[in-house]
Structure 1
Amino acid sequence: MPSAALAQAIEHVSGIDVSRATLQRVSGGSINRAYHLRLGAQSYFLKCNRADALSLFEAEADGLVALAASDVFRVPRVLGHGMTDDVAFLLLEHLQLRPLAGDDDGQRFAEALVQLHHDIGAHYGWPRDNFIGSTPQSNTEGDGWARFFILHRLTPQLELARAKGYAGALGRDADALLERVPGLFVDYRPQPSLLHGDLWNGNAAMDDTGRPAIFDPAVYRGDRDTDLAMSELFGGFPHSFYVAYRRAWPMAEGYEQRKTLYNLYHVLNHLNQFGRGYLGQAERMVRALFLELRR
């Protein structure tokens, strides 16, 4: 059962009395502690962290609500978030999920993602800042995509990497790369699509009715290619997903270059969160982009 203080705080924000619920630890997360909470026939998903991590859950709740409002994917319903003296928490609807597997899953997920990306906003960014993993993610809204991606995605990650001591070739080539990034967008002006923002296969699934589901977002509006690029970074999406997406909404010329650029953001974030094991990959990506854009 949750502690008395935690149960009281959960009831205060959600109206749900979980004082007699059972908790089962759920593995897989590297940032938060997660639990499957059972209360009779009812079932919930509970995330916990230190009290000073409440902003992580506030941002996650905001992103989940935004994705749910699109009514495209199955998204866990936000039931409440808050804190005790020493614990921050987020209570969600518990979903029965399974990984994407097979052609049908890939096609359905692609069709849903195309619909999500057709939710077009007026500006790039988002009304509030949030997080990519545990790293703060600036979302100051603006009208220029290249400027947004340089100022609010690559530059903060590169500055953090330097502060952590990962300079060397990364630092030498990165500044020159940033100067050349606008050249990728002279003839390519993407629409500000609603994005999941952290679309690796661990944040994608099918629910027990066969409906595509997403969770753990880092929501903002930007180039839809960023979601597609992230889906390729760690693999795990069926080939049918890419076929169906491109059939419904073909990619513009230059996607392969943009994919490397967009995934550099995530590799730098992994470097900053998890350490030197990602340094070589980041250096190779910076160097390859710099040489390609120098032509």
Structure 2
Amino acid sequence: MIDEVLQRELSAVLSAQLRVKIQINQSERIHGGDINETYRIQTNEGDMFLKLNNARRYPGMFAREYDGLQELRDKNVIAVPRPLGFGETAGKSYLVTEFMAKGAASPDFWENFAASVARLHQQTQPFFGYRDANYIGSIKQYNTPYNSWAVFYAFNRLLPLMRMAYDQQAITTADKEQIERLCKKLPELFPEEPPALLHGDLWSGNFMIGANGKACIFDPAVYYGHREMDLAMTRLFGGFDTRFYYTYQAIMPLAPGWQQRIGLCQLYPLLVHLVLFGGSYYNDIKEILQGF
């Protein structure tokens, strides 16, 4: 059960946001990731989902997640929990969203999911990046705008994570130099495409089957980038049916050579995992670097 101070704060924020008096009747802690406490809270207006974490350790994390969820919802192409409120109290940050009930997959679940992701990737803007930095997991994700995907990927993704990994002594000087050389090659490795709206952390743990039998996505690390990043992420830890890829390819074919770029796109999330969780990801990173 959440404490009374937080309960009063949440009631006030949600009442203002929803323009109806919200009373929290009960809360139940549930599983919801590595860095957050998560709860299902029962209110007079239905169930909601609550995340808590350390406000000092992760400043602005939930403000950015709220913004990312809203960005995805505004496009109206795939189900996303409605963000309801965020803030800080007693040293804790909180985010409240709509509680999404689970269901059974419809017969065309994977085809529908792929079509929704393709529609998401059709949303574009003039530059690669996003209006603010945000987070991927507990790591700050830089989104400084660039007109070139290769430049964006080098300066906002690979090089910052390379420095973090090197400072932790998780990679060697030779690895660092190899990544720096790879960054110089990126313009010739990636085909030119318009910036696509990305979930940013699209693995099997960040989608669920909703009550309507269709996919719902959450925990985003939103930015406008190369769409192969999302697709490579889906392949990193498995959990996506082959029908997802066939359908996506039929709707929005990838440029030739995409198979050879999967590892290149996975290099960023692997560096994230290396920094967060240690050396078990090192060999995967080395194998990818050897291919370039």
* TM band (smaller chain): over 0.9
SS in structure 2 at match of 1:29: coil
Q: Which 4+ stretches in 1 moved above 4 angstroms?
A: 16-20
Q: TM-score, normalised by structure 2?
A: 0.93
> Runs of 5+ in structure 1 lacking a partner?
291-295
CA-based RMSD of the aligned residues comes to 1.7
SS in structure 2 at match of 1:264: helix
1:35 is aligned to 2:39: yes
Structure 1 equivalent of residue 100 of structure 2 = 95
**Distance change (3 Å), C-alpha of 1:144 and 1:86:** same
Structure 2 equivalent of residue 285 of structure 1 = 288
Q: Which one of the candidate residues 132, 136, 139 is aligned to 1:128?
A: 132
Partners of 2:93 and 2:269 lie apart in 1 by 26
1:86 is aligned to 2:67: no
**Distance change (3 Å), C-alpha of 1:94 and 1:78:** same
Partners of 1:85 and 1:190 lie apart in 2 by 45
Per-residue deviation, residues 8-62 of structure 1 (Å, max 9, x unmatched): 2212322176664222111140011111111356101000011223411011000
Q: Which amino acid aligns with 1:274?
A: F
Tell me how far 1:103 sits from its aligned partner: 5.8
Kept after mapping to 1: 8 A contact 2:128/2:145 = yes
Kept after mapping to 1: 8 A contact 2:203/2:237 = yes
Kept after mapping to 2: 8 A contact 1:264/1:282 = yes
Partners of 1:19 and 1:247 lie apart in 2 by 48
Q: Which moved more, 1:248-257 or 1:13-22?
A: 13-22
Q: TM-score, normalised by structure 1?
A: 0.92
**Distance change (3 Å), C-alpha of 1:5 and 1:232:** same
Q: Which one of the candidate residues 275, 280, 291 is aligned to 1:272?
A: 275
1:117 is aligned to 2:121: yes
Partners of 1:19 and 1:272 lie apart in 2 by 41
Partners of 1:54 and 1:96 lie apart in 2 by 29
Kept after mapping to 2: 8 A contact 1:11/1:18 = yes
> Runs of 5+ in structure 2 lacking a partner?
none
Structure 2 equivalent of residue 67 of structure 1 = 72
Per-residue deviation, residues 49-91 of structure 1 (Å, max 9, x unmatched): 1122341101100000000001011111111001112211001
Q: Which amino acid aligns with 2:151?
A: R
Aligned pairs, how many? 286
Q: Which amino acid aligns with 1:194?
A: L
SS in structure 2 at match of 1:213: strand
Structure 2 equivalent of residue 233 of structure 1 = 236
**Distance change (3 Å), C-alpha of 1:278 and 1:103:** farther
Tell me how far 1:208 sits from its aligned partner: 0.4
Q: Which one of the candidate residues 149, 153, 167 is aligned to 1:149?
A: 153
1:46 is aligned to 2:50: yes
SS in structure 2 at match of 1:97: coil
Per-residue deviation, residues 173-201 of structure 1 (Å, max 9, x unmatched): 2222222222213xx21110111010001
Tell me how far 1:167 sits from its aligned partner: 2.6
**Distance change (3 Å), C-alpha of 1:280 and 1:5:** same
Structure 2 equivalent of residue 293 of structure 1 = none
Q: After TM superposition, list the pairs within 5 Å mapping 1:244-263 onto structure 2.
A: 244-263=247-266
Q: Which one of the candidate residues 174, 193, 196 is aligned to 2:196?
A: 193
